Amino acid sequence: MNLAPNLDWVFVSSSPLSADELCKWATRPNCGAVVTFCGTVRNTSTTGHDITSLEYETDVALAEARLAEVVGEARSRWGEIGAVAVHHRIGTVELGEITVVVAVSSPHRQDAFEAAKYLIDTVKNCVPMWKREVWEGGSAWSEEAHDIVSVRKR
């Protein structure tokens, strides 16, 4: 993984994600706080099956454009934040693996915590992404699906 030199880094990838890598990337000399959030595959679901993996799909260009919009909105709300990364996995993601990582640095911790929460909540509400739940002997689209929300309405 190349370390992007700029302050925003959105990425949709079929390769495993690393919170450590994003934490290091987001660490900046003027920032005393880095908050990372990871979403991981859990074994329970609304359908009652024992989940073994999730399968995510999207159009990468559409999803990355929307991720960039979400990051831009976070910057307009928390003007002091430093580096911001949001990476989302696609393809098959096994139980316990990371599906999404958010990393935010800022001079002080409060902005980093608030922006990180905003980012993951808004990604879930606003970014085009679809997951199938996979269990022994079957699979189905997640029943948690909801309409896409405009980023500005969040």
Interface with other proteins (CB under 8 A): 39, 56-59, 62, 65-66, 88, 99-100, 120, 123-124, 127-131, 141-142, 144-148, 150
8 A C-beta contact, residue 76 and residue 119: no
Q: How far apart are CA 115 and CA 111, in angstroms?
A: 6
Amino acid of residue 85: A
Per-residue exposure over 35-67, b if at least 16 CB sit within 10 Å of its own CB, e if not: bbbbbebeeebeeebebbbbebebeeeebbebb
CB of 127 to other proteins, least distance (A): 5
- The nearer residue to other proteins, 108 or 128, going by C-beta atoms, is 128
- The nearer residue to other proteins, 4 or 141, going by C-beta atoms, is 141
- The nearer residue to other proteins, 34 or 88, going by C-beta atoms, is 88
CB of 28 to other proteins, least distance (A): 26
CB of 120 to other proteins, least distance (A): 7
